[in-house]
Amino acid sequence: MMDLRYATALQMVLSLAVARESGARCTSGELAAGLGANPALVRKLMAPLARDGLIIATTGKSGGVRLARSPDAITLLDVYRSAVDDKQLFAARPNIPGLCVVSRNIDRFFDKLAGEAEHQLSTLLAGKSIAQSLAAIRVMDGQPQLGARQRG
């Protein structure tokens, strides 16, 4: 089964970055509508993001969800680590009988391969901020950069 926590959490954080530009807060219901998801799922994903200092969620009449830091100060790696916790990107099959050279060594080989993949992914995600990602999304959408709109 495919794990969609990171993709969902990333969309939430990017949506909060858009809301931040106008000084707005979002509700879990608004985030859920944008995700096509249940508000309960959104609230479940908000918990680790809040725990890790990426978002702030408040309740009450003027409550809502907002970014805890500037979009420039949040990397895609921050969101990834928060969303997936300690879950490995890949995992070897458990309980393999060591009957041949492959089955005797597949655990160590796969752990090394998974570690290298995780390192490469972490390096890639650490080099991209939420602000940079939102700018890239706007380019894909044919929108001008926020800074260009402000100057123009």
Residue 72 has what DSSP assignment?
G
Does residue 118 contact residue 81 with C-beta atoms inside 8 Å?
A: no
Is residue 143 predicted with pLDDT exceeding 60?
Answer: yes
Integer Cα distance of 13 and 57 in angstroms: 12
pTM: 0.84
pLDDT at residue 2, rounded to an integer: 66
Query: Which residue in this structure is represented by tokens 């390096």?
Result: 123
- Helix 5-21 to helix 39-51 angle (10° resolution) is 80
**64-67 and 55-58 strand pairing:** antiparallel
Most confident among 20-24, 80-84, 88-92 (mean pLDDT): 80-84
Query: For position 152, what pLDDT does the model report?
Result: 35
Three-state DSSP at 68 gives: coil
CATH 2.60.40.420 fits 5-145, yes or no: no
In the chain, the amino acid numbered 26 is C
Domain ranges of the chain: 5-145
Band the pLDDT of 61: cuts 50, 70, 90: confident
